[in-house]
Amino acid sequence: MTFSPGARTAWHSHPAGQLLYILTGLGWVQKEGEPKQQVQAGDTVWFAPGERHWHGASDTKAMSHVAIAERVDGRSTDWFEHVPDADYLG
């Protein structure tokens, strides 16, 4: 998946967890209750099962990643609210 500059997911979680492998560019990830972290090509990020988080490109550069998440009871993702600009840029 490729995110244009400024694009990001909404808050979400995965019942079996999720692994991200950053392919290109510069992005940000944030786990609920933790500060936003920068990611770049070659980085991997693990989100534990049920852990609320978001991820996307930085505000000035695109970012591409491979995301791996297995299904539990037919679902792989639970979606929540959008990430406001103030939180995304903060």
pLDDT in tens, 7-47: 999 999 999 999 999 999 999 999 999 999 999 999 999 99
83 lies in some domain: no
Q: pTM of the predicted model, to two decimals? A: 0.95
Q: Is the model's pLDDT at 90 over the cut of 90?
A: no
86 lies in some domain: no
Exposure pattern of 4-36 as b/e (b: 16+ CB <10 Å)? Answer: eeeebbebbbbbebbebebeebbbbbbbeeeee
Which residue range forms the structural domain that includes residue 58?
A: 2-70
34 lies in some domain: yes
Contact, 76 vs 69, CB < 8 A? yes
How many independent structural domains does the chain possess? 1
